[in-house]
Amino acid sequence: MNIFCAGLNHRTASLQIRENFAVKQEEMAELLGRLRARDGLSGAVMLSTCNRVELYASSLCPLQTLDGFHTILKERVGSDVPLYYHTTPEAVRHLFRVASGLDSMVLGETEIFGQVKKAYSFSVERGVTTRPLHRLFQHTFRVAKQLRTETQITRGASSIGSVAVQLAEKIFGQLDDCRVMILGAGEVSERTARSLQSRGVRSLIVSNRHYDKAVTLAAQIGGMALHFDHWEKNIRDVDIIISATGAPHAILTVEKLQPHLRHRRGCPLFIIDLAVPRDVEPSINKMQGVFLYDIDSLQKIASESIDIRRQEIVHCESLIAQHVREFLLWMRKNPFMSFSCCS
């Protein structure tokens, strides 16, 4: 028996190709059924995300399984498929790397862990997994968790939106009760607002020089539009301000903010200035209870996080190598795992 893995990902195929091969959950059961009908394949788990379509299988004849997978995908899209494939032990190592985020487009991202878990559960529910696959995936989850807790591979945030969310969470904790005011209805502020929304923010106010644009964005993100003349009065009621207007000078100064702070009863205020030129006077950061971040400081934090993650790759790879050896040892101890007809 061999552990086998084949597929395509963001490194081997462009987005245009990947979107053709993406497998919806409704189709997956049928595909898994067809694959299992092939000789030599005992169990299979299929992972389909925006960055990869991969098959993990326990198979007596890996090449035959590869051929079957290739044919099925080719039939679906009507063109040739640029597939890569691995067998034991490389397939085991590959899965460990994928689940830990080492093979992801954004190094160390954690979403893939949930996606692998979901793919495995899907196969378990349909009874298309085998003992080696159970063991492999349980081991994979253990590896991913260990890497997450014992290394810095998931440390920090890697985009401006996620850095903003991380900072907000370090100030306020839960963001459910936070009120956000967006100044300027541009794409950057919208993306940042959506990142905050994804972490629980419910109350959003959008203010823009052109009121109709504020109304449009407010409708898109489920917020409330506000005339630009009134945004200053709302400072005392909001916790986070995202500013990205096209103003040629600072629209928020110490003098403007000072009177409102008295009414905030000690509540912290987080200001995210995404505008160039800046909308917020830098000296505002010196005020008690006010935390100001501009686009450069956010970008710097994101870059540093990525650097830290990169430095951790060697450590992660050595931990993974150790786990691969452990898994191979288990395979060797189980006689039903030790043979294959072709590999």
Partner 1 sequence: MTCCMRHLPFQLSLVLSTLFYFSSCLSSLLGFRSRGLRPGRFDWMVIALGVLAQSWFLMTQGAMEHACPIRTLPEVMIFLSWAIGLFYLVVGTTYRISLMGAFSAPLILALQSIALLLPGAKMPLESSINPWIELHAALSLIAFGAFGLASISAIMFLVQEKQLKSQHPTTIFHYLPPMRLLEAVTLRLLWLGWVLLSISFAAGWLPSHSISGMKFGISLLVWGSYVLTLFLYHKHRVGAHHLALMAILIFFFALMIFPVMRYISGLYF
Q: Does 210 bind partner 1 (CB under 8 A)?
A: no
Q: How many residues in the shown chain lie near partner 1 by CB under 8 A?
A: 25
Between CA 336 and CA 58 the distance in angstroms is 11
Q: Which of residues 306-325 bind partner 1 (CB under 8 A)?
A: 308
Our CB check for partner 1 shows the closer of 197 and 285 to be 285
- The stretch near partner 1 (CB under 8 A) out of 62-70, 92-100, 103-111, 168-176 is 168-176
State the burial class of residue 30 (Cβ atoms within 10 Å of its Cβ: 0-12, 13-18, 19+). Answer: exposed
- The phi and psi torsions of 179 (rounded to 5 degrees) equal -105, 130
Coil vs helix vs strand at 1: coil
**Displacement of CA 260 from its chain's centroid (Å):** 37
- The stretch near partner 1 (CB under 8 A) out of 34-42, 100-108, 150-158, 326-334 is 150-158
Which candidate in 5, 50, 178, 342 is catalytic?
50
Between CA 311 and CA 145 the distance in angstroms is 19
Question: What does the angle CA 27 – CA 31 – CA 33 come to, to the nearest 5 degrees?
Answer: 120
Element (H, E) at 29: helix 25-36
Q: Is 50 a catalytic residue?
A: yes
- The stretch near partner 1 (CB under 8 A) out of 64-72, 109-117, 187-195, 282-290 is 282-290
- The stretch near partner 1 (CB under 8 A) out of 110-118, 135-143, 165-173, 226-234 is 165-173
**Displacement of CA 124 from its chain's centroid (Å):** 24
Q: Which of residues 241-280 bind partner 1 (CB under 8 A)?
A: 265-266, 268
DSSP 92-123: HHHHHHHHTTTTSSSTT-SHHHHHHHHHHHHH
Q: Does 172 bind partner 1 (CB under 8 A)?
A: yes
Q: How far is the CB of 166 from partner 1 (least distance, A)?
A: 9
Q: Does 297 bind partner 1 (CB under 8 A)?
A: yes
Q: Does 200 bind partner 1 (CB under 8 A)?
A: no
Q: Does 237 bind partner 1 (CB under 8 A)?
A: no
Q: How far is the CB of 267 from partner 1 (least distance, A)?
A: 9
Our CB check for partner 1 shows the closer of 104 and 151 to be 151
Among 20, 152, 159, 340, binds partner 1 (CB under 8 A): 152
Q: How far is the CB of 103 from partner 1 (least distance, A)?
A: 23
Nearest to 268 by CA among 241, 228, 243: 241
Among 101, 156, 161, 223, binds partner 1 (CB under 8 A): 156
Q: How far is the CB of 167 from partner 1 (least distance, A)?
A: 7
Strands, E assignment, the chain: 2-9, 41-48, 52-59, 84-87, 179-183, 203-208, 224-227, 240-243, 269-273, 290-294
Tell me the CA distances in angstroms from 176 to 219, 255, 271, one per residue in order. Answer: 20, 30, 17
Q: Which residues contact partner 1 (rule: CB under 8 A)?
A: 149-152, 155-156, 167, 169-173, 265-266, 268, 285, 288-289, 291-293, 297, 300-301, 308
Which residues are catalytic, by number?
50
